[in-house]
Amino acid sequence: MGKRIISQNRGAGGPTYRAPSHKYKAELKHPNNVKSTVRGCVIDIEHDPARHAPIAKVQLENGQKIFMLVTEGVGIDDDVAWGAEAQVKNGNTLLLKDIPVGAYICNIEARPNDGGKFVRSSGVQAQVIGKSEDRVGIKMPSGQHKWFNAACRATVGIVAGGGRSEKPFVKAGKKFHKMKSQAQKWPRTKGVCMNVCDHPFGGGGHQHVGRPKTVSRGASPGRKVGHIAAKRTGVRK
């Protein structure tokens, strides 16, 4: 009897495929107080094992300390603010309807007051491209144009930590710890390298798939590898 393939093991769960959330510092959500302007001062820039971008520790006016996703150019002792009365400047968070067209933004809410869901990776930014009565058009980092509720909040600026992917890992140990923080199994073995009992693409006198790569959407979990329910295959002509 063969072993489960990786996709089956991931679905079952377990410590190998579980992110170490007990090591993470914060969820990095915008403050819940949306009726008034919240102000604070950056007291430290820290590393969070949960993400590749640096985070800032902010002390609010009421003495509470929170973490926020830091943008390029924001440093210790800088003032930041959340709310309608906040100035449109790097590091401040405002409603999308209050941010001018052409501005670069990050940490965008999917729905009003959900804390921020989009454009949070290091070095990325979105851009405000248009407005209507109750919606704001955003050009996402992928180039896609997406419309958001005008009451959603976003932070002005570009997420810090740009150029991270340009530095090589050099050592396998560094790559191991990076993948460990993301709950990904590493190193990853190709299916054609495995035995026939371990993967549908395994076995044979030499390394080759040996079967069609396209499988149906309803294929059994042990067979669901390759091009799943592909609309088309082959070279585009």
In a domain, 177, yes or no: no
What residues form DSSP beta bridges with 104? 127
Phi, psi of 38 (to 5 degrees): -105, 130
Q: Are residues 56 and 101 in the same domain?
A: yes
In a domain, 178, yes or no: no
Q: Are residues 216 and 160 in the same domain?
A: no
Q: Which residue has the tokens 């003495």?
A: 63
In a domain, 235, yes or no: no
Strands across the sheet with 126-131, in order? 65-69, 55-60, 38-46, 79-82, 93-95, 153-156, 104-106, 126-131, 135-139, 145-149
Is the model's pLDDT at 16 over the cut of 90? no
The pairing of strands 153-156 and 104-106 is: antiparallel
Range of the domain at 220: 6-13+183-228
Q: Are residues 201 and 111 in the same domain?
A: no
Contact 184, 175 (CB under 8 A): no
Q: Are residues 146 and 187 in the same domain?
A: no
Using CA atoms, how far residue 92 sits from 18, 38, 145, 153, in Å, is 34, 10, 23, 10
Report the CATH number at residue 114: 2.30.30.30
Q: Are residues 145 and 38 in the same domain?
A: yes
Domain count, the chain: 2
Q: Are residues 105 and 196 in the same domain?
A: no
In a domain, 170, yes or no: no
| Chain segment 193-233, per-residue pLDDT in tens | 999 999 999 999 999 999 999 999 999 999 999 999 999 98
Give the containing element (helix H, strand E) for 12.
helix 6-12
Using CA atoms, how far residue 209 sits from 4, 5, 180, 235, in Å, is 18, 15, 29, 18
Query: How large is the average pLDDT for residues 13-21?
Result: 85
Instruction: Compute the distance between CA of residue 138 and CA of residue 155 in angstroms, rounded to an integer.
Output: 13
Q: Are residues 73 and 144 in the same domain?
A: yes
Q: Are residues 198 and 156 in the same domain?
A: no
- Over pLDDT 70: what percentage of the chain? 99
pLDDT of residue 138: 97
Q: Which residue has the tokens 């076995």?
A: 203
**Residue 14 has which token pair?**
């377990």
Query: How large is the average pLDDT for residues 131-158?
Result: 95
Report the CATH number at residue 193: 4.10.950.10
Q: Which residue has the tokens 């309608």?
A: 84
In a domain, 176, yes or no: no
